[in-house]
Structure formats: C-alpha cells, structure tokens
Amino acid sequence: MRVAIVNDMSLAIEALKRLILTNSEYKIAWTAANGEAAIRNCLADRPDVILMDLVMPGISGAEATREIMKKSPCAILVVTATVAGNFKLVNEAMGYGAYDAVETPSNNGNSDSASRLMAKLVNVERINQRLQRNTTTAPASLTKPAFIPPGGSYSLSNLPPVVAMGASTGGPAALEMILSQLKPTFPAAILVAQHIGEQFAACLVQWLTSRCKILIRTAEPGNRPEPSIVYIAATSNHLILASDGTLQYSPHPIDNPYRPSVDALFNSIADAGCKPCVAVLLTGIGNDGARGLLRLRQTRWHTIAQEETSCVVYGMPQAAAKLGAASQILPLKEIACNLEAFLGSSSPR
C-alpha cells in the first residue's frame, strides 16, 4: 500500500515514515509540508491513503481534504496531536470526506497511538481491497422478499419504535443535519452506526449534543432503547440489538473492515424481529449497510437512502439503490421531516 504524509513538521514526517516502513508491504508515495503541496501531489500521483495533519500554515488539513476529495479522491486518515483538542477541525475534515482520525504517534513509535495508527492503515487497506473486488449484485437468496405475514409476532414488541441509521464518510455532518431537526419528544429510539474510531466517538456525541435538542448518548452494553434518545455506537466492535431487547457490542463478523458495521446493526434488528419502523443509510464509501437495508425492507420496514447530490461519497446509498433496498431516496435535508411524518410526531419543539 502506498502512503502519503502531509505534515508541516519534518520531525513528524520522519517519525511517521519510520513507523509506516516497519511494514514491508507499505511504501511512502510522497510527503508534503502543507495543504497546497498535498493537493498538487495528489493530482499528480494519487496514493492509496493520505495521513493528513490538520494545523498547518496556509490551507488547513480540513481544507486540503475538501479539495482532494473533489479533485482526486482517495482514503484520507487524519493524524493530529489531539483529536479532542482539534475536534472542530477533525469534524470538518470528516465532513469533507476524511475516513477517520487518530492521534499522532510519539517520535519513538512505541506508543498506543502508534499501534492505533497502524491498525487504521490495515483497515484502510482491507477496505480498499474490498472496494476493488466489490459487486453490488444481490445474491439469489435476497432477490425474493420474505415479508412477515400480517399478524406476525415480534419478540421485541414491548420496545418503543426503533429508527436505525448508518453512515460513513461525511456521516457526522449528515447526522447533525438530521438529528438537529428532530423534536426532543421524537417518539422513537434512534440507533446509529457511524464508521468511526473509539477515540472520536465520544467527541462526536458531545458535538451532536451541542447542536441537537434530542438527547444524544453513547450506546452502552445493556442499554434498553428508550424513545427520544439517540444511541451512538462507541467502540470498534459492532453495535447490535440483541434478542432480549438490549444493546450489545459484538466483534463478529471479525473480517468486516467497516467498524462499527451498519450491516451488523441492521441485520441484528432483522434477526431479532423488531417491529418494523424506519432505517436510513447515509453518505459513505463502500457498500456497508446496503444488504442489511434490503433485509429490513423485506420485513416491511420503511427504508431510506440518501440522494446522490447531498452525499459526500455516494457509495453506501448507491449500493442500496442498486439492490432495490430503499423504499425512498431522499435529499439529506428532507430526511428528518420524513422521519417525523412517518412516526406521527406532533409535539412542539
């Protein structure tokens, strides 16, 4: 895998080089000391992944991410001194298409942050490989809807209505757009799987809390979904709804590079027999969530995929559209109104 490094500090570039080259299969594509050079270099030589610093002279890492994703898109991993301290820029970069964020490793390369960075690179490589061989053709077993017959029983019938959402690249901003429009008395529990690192998840919850009237929480094992609460997946394991109606985390499927996986969440809801409600698949690279959305549609769920022009990356919603998994394809700004109309929410803001 060819890795590019963008950082205005030569010592940081050298430390990242040494760390990356500990894996003999990784090569340094190029380095850049500022955002302008990164944009030029990427146009001339697109790498497999860019390690993007945020705070640099001239164009910031977030702005550089926006330009690269418009002109020569590739995987971008934000590498910054502090994710929490630079949260605004981290979130901005992810809104423009950065895949994830991790803290800059120490110079000796023996820190936990070094291990996290290398793990992120392995994950990016697996995603790139999956994208290269990906097909969005539905398997034969999914081509005929398996609708639940009228009067069917549900093992989770005592739960409130559940809205399931999945997002990846560009997801934080998309989630903010939707959740900030919802009333604090929204009558459903909302379960969210956003491809994001554990370190960033708590910051995402804090940021959404500052912008939304509805209550936002990290999903904790054993939580039982309650109405008017948004539960955000907060680990690298997959958030699932268990058959006893509680939220849990599972490492399976272990080989899924999208973590936490939208398909894992959607499939767990389908497996549990949760009463049909609404599932939403938002902007993101790849096809995670598309098959899970199809399963939910086949069990009478109202399923929504984000419309192309409002996506940062039209990957996951496009895969859902090709499978016929979405009963509606909507611009981002219309999704919140659709949810409230579907659930008959009429309480004042």
Q: Which residues are catalytic?
A: 168, 195, 288
> SS in 3 state form for the chain?
CEEEEECCCHHHHHHHHHHHCCCCCCEEEEEECCHHHHHHHHHHCCCCEEEECCCCCCCCHHHHHHHHHHHCCCEEEEEECCCCCCHHHHHHHHHHCCCEEEECCCCCCCCHHHHHHHHHHHHHHHHHHHHHHCCCCCCHHHCCCCCCCCCCCCCCCCCCCEEEEEECCCHHHHHHHHHCCCCCCCCCEEEEEECCCHHHHHHHHHHHHHHCCCEEEECCCCCCCCCCEEEECCCCCEEEECCCCCEEEECCCCCCCCCCCHHHHHHHHHHHCCCCCEEEECCECCCCCHHHHHHHHHCCCEEEEECHHHCCCECHHHHHHHHCCCCEEECHHHHHHHHHHHHCCCCCC
